[in-house]
Structure 1
């Protein structure tokens, strides 16, 4: 089972325009759609759509529209009751695939809320293969909270089948991402999924330069040296890079007509996890991630891909040789 945490859930609303966006002008919408959102919720939606078991954890009330959306979609969830409703994230989508996002900050979480969420994740850890910590943190939450969760959840614990150590994936940015790699943080996720900008944030390298797969792989390798199990670096239209202690791989994105980038990174992460649960080799985990991410980009608004949208045969992966490192065994 995959468990996702969405600390800052949202209602994702997409307004699709009939013409290019022009500041200060009146526009007409071709369509408006809304879905339960937040990065962890998006991962849960994709995993559930594939038929695999997933459980979404989030701070929310019973009448929360995100909870309603999860219930309607038949996605398992557990909540910690909090004060306040979800934020609204607005995406303005143009006909050429350009998207402009305006994200609300969300409602603050109290120390007691964080303690309950932590306890719930620890409870679920015994039955999970992956826990995904995904998205931004609400106002007032310590920036090192994900760091503390990684340390807590990575502790081996007993299960009916013996000692069980689940794996932890993190997909975040800015201060929470920096905190994971702060000196003496003690937190080394089994997987992180940065884009080129986020990879630049934690390595101090230029984000534009990191859109080159070879440069991204070299930067990601420095994170493996710091204890991270795997780095899945998504590079937008270029594809993605996967780096582990065993080597590095690149998969180019297949040609598509881009309609919306909303949820593409979350879909790529979900695809990777699904392939991992199926026992796929690293190159095939990467291929599946790119296939899911590309399929999301080809869909309108906040729609997310299912198995019928995936074209795995259109994606190939090959090894990369990282400078100053011995080649991995074939």
Structure 2
């Protein structure tokens, strides 16, 4: 007889060594050489892993976010994330936490995103990040290492996180690009979430068409570099490759306002549903729902739980009826 008690959720730890204080605003025209009067501005605590934790919490999950913080921007960052009541461990650094800014051009609907370089971390600082990860890793749970590496941090940093995860019986998920991604894949991880461009750069090619996308994602699984590859394709949906085969899902029709944070929201919902004991297909539908819900929000705002659950239910109904998402 099946156990009627719900399966306890496995814990989720996130790591962000290059967080960003996200500033967003809007102006009528972006014109070189002119002062551009902007509207109201918005501040959010951004960065891959932190955004994952923020969305996991919004969707009812348990999470702990480890991140670096320094200087006046780091203090502002702390206050913002504490206001959201996300459980955190902050690693103090000497440099200033970086800022990113996004400008929406209201007359055209175009969005301009400026991603600044992070502060240089000392060896003592990035090693402290690893030590906190080792102390906090949930046995049987998940560690999501996400975002760019700031100056001073070695390319194999995420590979080191993967080794720690393996040693502690946790599953490592990496969302990165370039050398950091390559080093992590050489070590072997549970899941990676590249975009089409990032995966193409990894293989030194341009992925054009469904066949090349699937082949590239499946190659990482076949080589043992990752047990699962969640390839995000923007408005074309996502592909999930694993030993059990290939899943492909289109996005639901939504009005796109801003793509900032969509990939982080996708990853957050995916790992949360896995941690709740859901299947890969169910987790993928939740991920696409969360990414789609985020693009409907303005500027750097992330998804809302009610909208994610509405889209997720819609995708689940389509799947039950054998109708592909459009």
1:166 maps to which residue?
170
Q: How does 1:41-190 map to 2 (within 5 A)?
A: 41-61=50-70, 64-95=75-106, 97-126=109-138, 129-155=141-167, 157=168, 165-181=169-185, 185=186, 187-190=187-190
CA distance in 1 between counterparts of 2:140 and 2:70 reads 24
Do structure 1's residue 12 and structure 2's residue 22 form an aligned pair?
Answer: yes
Deviation at 1:112, TM superposition (A): 0.9
Q: Which structure features the higher share of helix residues?
A: 2
Alignment CA distance shift 1:24-1:175 (3 Å): farther
CA offset digits 1:87-132 (Å, max 9, x no partner): 0001122346532211111111111112211111011113561101
SS at match of 1:84: coil
What SS does structure 1 have at the residue aligned with 2:189?
A: coil
RMSD over aligned Cα atoms: 2.1
Q: Residues 124-179 of structure 1, C-alpha deviation per residue, up to 9 Å, x if partnerless?
A: 11356110100001112111111122122212x4xxxxxxx111100011221232
Equivalent residues, number = 304
> Please, which moves more after superposition, 89-98 or 27-36?
89-98
Distance 1:104 1:154, change over 3 A: same
- The Cα shift of 1:204 comes to 2.3
Q: 1:3 aligns with which of 7, 13, 16?
A: 13
| Aligned-residue offset at 1:25 | 4.1
Higher mean C-alpha deviation, range 144-153 or range 290-299: 144-153
Native 8 Å contact 1:238 1:252 kept in 2: yes
Task: Compute the TM-score of the two structures, normalised by the length of structure 1.
Answer: 0.86
- Tell me by how many angstroms 1:263 deviates: 0.2
Cα distance, 1:12 vs. partner?
A: 0.6
Task: Point out where structure 2 has 5 or more consecutive residues left out of the alignment.
Answer: 1-10
1:213 and 1:312 mapped to 2: Cα distance?
24
Q: Find the residue that maps to 1:294 and give its secondary structure.
A: helix
Aligned partner of residue 131 in structure 1, secondary structure: strand
Task: Give the TM-score normalised by the residue count of structure 2.
Answer: 0.87
